[in-house]
Structure 1
Amino acid sequence: MKISLTQKYNVPGPRYTSYPTVPYWNESDFTEQKWIESFQKAFSESNTQNGISLYIHLPFCESMCTFCGCNKRITKNHTVEETYIKALLKEWSLYCKLFTEKPLIKEIHLGGGTPTFFSINNLEHLINGIFSFANKADHYEFSFEGHPNNTTYEQLKKLYELGFRRVSFGVQDYAEKVQKAIHRIQPFHNVAKVSFWAKEIGYTSISHDLIFGLPFQNVENIIDTVEKTNSLKPDRLAFYSYAHVPWIKGNGQRGFNDENLPKDAEKRQLYEIGKHLLSENGYHEIGMDHFALKTDSLYKASQSNQLHRNFMGYSASKTQLMIGLGVSSISDSWYSFAQNTKNLEDYYQLLEWDKLPVVKGHVLTDEDLTIRKHILNLTCEFETSWNNKTGYFKELPAVLFDLKEMERDHLMVIEEHKIKITEAGKPFVRNICMAFDLHLKRKSPETNLFSMTI
């Protein structure tokens, strides 16, 4: 019996927000001093020209969403806000003492958790505190994630006044049965309300996050969700495959059974129908899982080959240095990665000792940097190239041999010094990246590490 491409290629695989992926970091060769030297080098090379990026993790949520794999702390006690903001600013001050000059900030992204868990006053205190040590770069871009149920008009207005022009609202799916299963009850009215407020205030890029493959989700749900989304016309969309990783401790994915999830061809159909409806309404696929209108900066960046991808997702511009502040945040200097402790109490303690809360990381080798560039090219431009001087690595012939099967399946075209992903191959980008992933090839995981690729 002939199997489908979905069945053939639906295997566990990384999402490639970084390379090497976190499970393959060489932690034994990493030290805090190496991280300091790495980000100081990146800062000296890039601050004056392009500025730096900040990712700020705000982990608190009032309730648990069972689809979520992020680091979070569930509480309704809002007195935690001030303590956490104080810790974030302490961490930022430690970094600023190690910079050789005042940083220029090109990008800020507030992620979570639920950033809109925090009050207007505390969000303002955070941003003003950041800029007591820094300046804004030209053409800066500040963004945050908003929960449609608790984002207020006042929060949107204040963050706009502080320089934020991008907001992303988590929608997932509008079907009541699906929302109950993932413990995220939010009617269309709430999403429409905050989207209209953001447009009225002047936000230039409003994004909605949708997920396919959720428990009890079917074709009717996807059609309804995408049609409702189209009626609000967000500037960009993330249309993610649900990452089912219940083996990760504390991620909350225990609110339903595996048999409640759409499988293989059924799940792929949800994506294809959603993608078709988005295309009919003017959305263009600009990268892995992401779509944008022609008027959005992400689309324009994709057309000019300026699209970049990192731990914050897709960006219309690249900064060499990204500092992650907050519990579990990951920083990236291009030459190395560093991750903060995932434990909130340890985070506070390390900062009390005037120590950066970094607990693990990875220093990239020359080989890592070459492979990282290929994977970025594939996820941002759907192609990559090489010659004898740049982009070539000794395992490349073996990688191209492994990709021949995908070429026979019309997912890509292999040329003399280039590969191009076809339209049919775009849903299989992660699989194509896996062919380049030398760490994964050399040591396949013996336990569950990654969600399914499709």
Structure 2
Amino acid sequence: MQLIRKYNTAAPRYTSYPTVPYWDESSFDIDTWKQTLLQSFRASNEKEGISIYIHLPYCEQLCTYCGCNKHITVNHAVEAPYIQSLLNEWKLYLELFKERPRIKELHLGGGTPTFFSPESLHQLLSGLYLHADLLPDATLSFEGHPNNTTTEHMLTLYNLGFRRMSLGIQDFDIRVQDIINRIQPYETVEQVTAAARKIGYTSINYDLVYGLPLQTMASVGDTISKVMQLRPDRISFYSYAHVPWVKGVGQRRYAEDDLPKDEEKRALYELGKTMFAENGYTEIGMDHFALPHDSLFEACNQGSLHRNFMGYTDHHTTLMIGLGASSIGDSWYAYAQNEKRIALWQQLVNSGQFPVVRGHILDAEDLFLRRHIHQLMCGFKTSWNQYSEETHVIAESIERLEELEKDGLVDITADSVTVTEKGKPFIRNICMAFDARLWKKLPQSQLFSTAI
């Protein structure tokens, strides 16, 4: 418990390095971003293919815990113009590349992708495929809300190549569901899961969240027991990020006193981790658990686990294109984020402009540290050449890790750092030791959620 109190500080989740608050926007420009896109595309399209993330931001109601970029509406007339704008944005990338992209990975995120009708999703994806090739082993996945993911949705996407789906469960306790405004009965989740398996989906993920308001050891234990009855192939067990200063009115629906405190919140995670292990799930990276037959488990065992703005994936791609309002693209050498406001994003795209409004060009030190943070997040270990040009950066990182080594969280050698079993829950703190940009300019206010 002392370690929890000691290390429960604000820390990034490291879906990128540098993290978004530390992007150097002053040195970013769209022409350099395009150059890095072409560099990555030419090097990787034939070799490994590319990844595409499509942000579908609409939801019919506000889930108060949610930290995603979303737009609440029950007006489905927004679907057609948004789909057309996505295809217009895709056309901008096609014109830049001047050859057919080969798609290795594609993910529909949100918002709520299943807010869109099956017909709208078919129009989007068939338009996307018209000028691209799906690799034979491409991984296609989508996020679905159990309450509005229909059999027709699943059949349509299955026929378009999708074999993975992720359902946002969060918690089955009705008290918790009520306060986070996410009512979905167990029976609904059971029906959607059974239908997906009957159709042929081979990997079903459940998103669960610990640290939500009103959660207790008993309620979380009951939720996980119900999840074990349905036995998803993967489980994402996320720490609730309470950031009302960022996410505003939704997360102010409840008070700090409604949230499990540090030690209690950590106990919820340990309960989940124990129950998952007892039921055959293995911990994969941070927050993720998988059964032995799942590709995420296989990628972890083979050392090919990858992490980007979509989270953990079982494929490494150098280039990830982000389509849609607020989406982030990653050329490995640079990041770029689209305009968040839907109307302005559409205006830019429909006038033939890349809708990028900010980004970061990685320098040599960024690329060096990105590799180490990525290796820690994906394999709990990183190593380096003792005589590299970045020796001073490593020395500074090791100095920051010494306290964590005293606490038994890492093992340090002359050319490597390995996270211990005891240290895995503190992986965000460990990666912070390599975050040179953060240490050069420590935040004056809280930017990130707490690590535990």
Find the aligned partners of 1:251 and 1:6 in 2 and give their Cα distance.
Answer: 29
Partner of 1:6: 4
Residue correspondence of structure 1 range 110-125 to structure 2 within 5 A: 110-125=108-123
Find the aligned partners of 2:326 and 2:221 in 1 and give their Cα distance.
Answer: 36
Partner of 1:412: 410
Maintained 8 Å contact 1:385/1:391? no
Aligned counterpart for 1:342 among listed residues 304, 315, 340? 340
Q: Deviations over 1:135-182 (max 9, x none)?
A: 112310000000001100111011001000000000001111111111
**Cα shift at 1:252:** 2.1
Maintained 8 Å contact 1:370/1:393? no
Find the aligned partners of 1:226 and 1:166 in 2 and give their Cα distance.
Answer: 21
Maintained 8 Å contact 1:384/1:418? yes
Deviates more, 1:359-368 or 1:417-426: 417-426
**Cα shift at 1:393:** 3.6
Find the aligned partners of 2:381 and 2:297 in 1 and give their Cα distance.
Answer: 17
C-alpha spacing 1:451/1:62, structure 2 compared with 1 (3 Å): same
Q: Which runs of 5+ in 1 are unaligned?
A: none
Find the aligned partners of 2:33 and 2:111 in 1 and give their Cα distance.
Answer: 26
Partner of 2:235: 237
Partner of 1:198: 196
Maintained 8 Å contact 2:281/2:292? yes
**Cα shift at 1:348:** 1.1
Q: How many residues align?
A: 452
Maintained 8 Å contact 1:50/1:137? no
Aligned counterpart for 2:392 among listed residues 391, 394, 410? 394
Residue correspondence of structure 1 range 58-69 to structure 2 within 5 A: 58-69=56-67
Q: Secondary structure in 2 aligned to 1:111?
A: strand
Maintained 8 Å contact 1:374/1:391? no
Q: Deviations over 1:327-377 (max 9, x none)?
A: 000000000000000111110110122101000000000100110011110
C-alpha spacing 1:138/1:391, structure 2 compared with 1 (3 Å): farther
Letter in 2 for 1:133: H
**Cα shift at 1:418:** 1.1
**Cα shift at 1:100:** 3.2
Partner of 1:221: 219
**Cα shift at 1:249:** 4.6
Q: Deviations over 1:301-332 (max 9, x none)?
A: 00000000000111111111000000000000
Residue correspondence of structure 1 range 50-449 to structure 2 within 5 A: 50-250=48-248, 252-388=250-386, 392-449=390-447
Maintained 8 Å contact 1:58/1:114? yes
C-alpha spacing 1:336/1:298, structure 2 compared with 1 (3 Å): same
C-alpha spacing 1:358/1:424, structure 2 compared with 1 (3 Å): same
Find the aligned partners of 1:355 and 1:318 in 2 and give their Cα distance.
Answer: 29
**Cα shift at 1:391:** 8.8
Aligned counterpart for 1:24 among listed residues 22, 25, 32? 22
Letter in 2 for 1:347: W
Maintained 8 Å contact 2:53/2:320? yes
Letter in 1 for 2:190: A
Q: Secondary structure in 1 aligned to 2:243?
A: coil
C-alpha spacing 1:424/1:249, structure 2 compared with 1 (3 Å): closer
**Cα shift at 1:398:** 2.3
Partner of 1:451: 449
Across the aligned residues of Structure 1 and Structure 2, the Cα RMSD in angstroms comes to 1.1
**Cα shift at 1:407:** 1.1
**Cα shift at 1:5:** 0.6
Q: Secondary structure in 1 aligned to 2:426?
A: helix
**Cα shift at 1:250:** 4.6
Find the aligned partners of 1:126 and 1:390 in 2 and give their Cα distance.
Answer: 47
**Cα shift at 1:255:** 1.6
Find the aligned partners of 1:88 and 1:390 in 2 and give their Cα distance.
Answer: 43
Letter in 2 for 1:358: V
Q: Deviations over 1:87-139 (max 9, x none)?
A: 00000001100003110011100000000000010000000000111111231
Q: Secondary structure in 2 aligned to 1:163?
A: coil
Letter in 2 for 1:156: M
Find the aligned partners of 1:394 and 1:194 in 2 and give their Cα distance.
Answer: 53
Maintained 8 Å contact 1:18/1:372? yes
Find the aligned partners of 1:179 and 1:249 in 2 and give their Cα distance.
Answer: 19
**Cα shift at 1:401:** 1.9
Give the share of equivalent positions with the same residue, in percent.
54
Maintained 8 Å contact 2:365/2:390? no
Q: Deviations over 1:3-42 (max 9, x none)?
A: 6110000000101000000000010100111111110110
Maintained 8 Å contact 1:68/1:251? no
Letter in 1 for 2:113: P
Q: Secondary structure in 2 aligned to 1:359?
A: strand
Letter in 2 for 1:167: M
Q: Which runs of 5+ in 2 are unaligned?
A: none
- The TM-score with structure 1 as length reference comes to 0.98
